[in-house]
């Protein structure tokens, strides 16, 4: 299998795994999300376990990954930004506003779209429009200047000796 095909297939499987995690954990149900955000009411803390489980699992694999010089399927690890800037706070606040209103964030919006509930399609459509609006406004993104160009073409010769 070519490296491009491997990257495509692993991304598809990992997307499905991510979606399965969202579905099992209750993140795909807006009422569960809102019950988690409702700290002064009848608080449902279950999503704290989702967050905790996800953060710890990611942190472990992230550390393991950096024992390698490069990602397993080629390319290289990006230099990720660490400092906060004003755009970050404004963007996060706007996102929080929308998240609190609907109880849906981008991952669950895509899973619920696949489930074919008409109501969610309205949210997902508006979300895509928001992404386009941001691009048209030409505002850039928080931390964008600090990131090493992450969209460089993947070279098959990055890991010598590995069959492409």
Partner 1 sequence: MGTWWMALLGGVLIGGSAGLLYLLHGRIAGISGVLGAAMMPETSERAWRVAFVVGLVAVGLVARLAAPETVPLTGTGTSTPLLVLAGLLVGFGTRLGNGCTSGHGVCGVGRAAPRSLAATGTFLAVAMLVVLVTRHLLGGAA
In the complex, the smallest distance separating the C-beta of residue 68 from partner 1, rounded to whole angstroms, is 8
Cβ proximity of 109 and 98 under 8 Å: no
27 binds partner 1, rule: CB under 8 A: yes
H helix intervals, the chain = 3-25, 30-37, 46-65, 86-102, 106-115, 118-137
Q: Which of 59, 155, 162, 164 binds partner 1 (CB under 8 A)?
A: 59
CB atoms within 10 A of CB 37: 15
Per DSSP, the residues of 126-140 read HHHHHHHHHHHHT--
Residue 89 interacting with partner 1 (CB under 8 A): yes
Closer residue to partner 1 in complex, CB, 17/164: 17
Name which of residues 101 to 160 contact partner 1 (CB under 8 A).
101-107, 109-120, 122-135, 139, 141-144, 150-154
């Amino acid at each position: 299998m070519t490296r491009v095909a491997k990257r495509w297939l692993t991304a598809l499987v990992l997307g499905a795994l991510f979606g399965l995690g969202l579905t099992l954990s209750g993140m795909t149900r807006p009422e569960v999300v809102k019950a988690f955000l409702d700290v002064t009411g009848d608080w449902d803390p279950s999503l704290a376990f989702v967050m905790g489980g996800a953060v710890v699992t990611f942190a472990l694999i992230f550390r393991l990954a950096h024992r390698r010089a490069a990602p397993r399927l080629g390319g290289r690890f990006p230099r990720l930004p660490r400092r906060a800037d004003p755009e970050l706070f404004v963007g996060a606040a706007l996102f929080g506003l929308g998240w609190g209103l609907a109880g849906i964030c981008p991952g669950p919006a895509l899973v619920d779209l696949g489930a074919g509930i008409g109501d969610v399609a309205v949210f997902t459509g508006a979300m895509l429009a928001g992404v386009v609006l941001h691009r048209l406004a030409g505002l850039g993104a928080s931390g964008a200047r600090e990131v090493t160009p992450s969209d460089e073409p993947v070279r098959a010769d990055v890991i010598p000796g590995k069959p492409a």
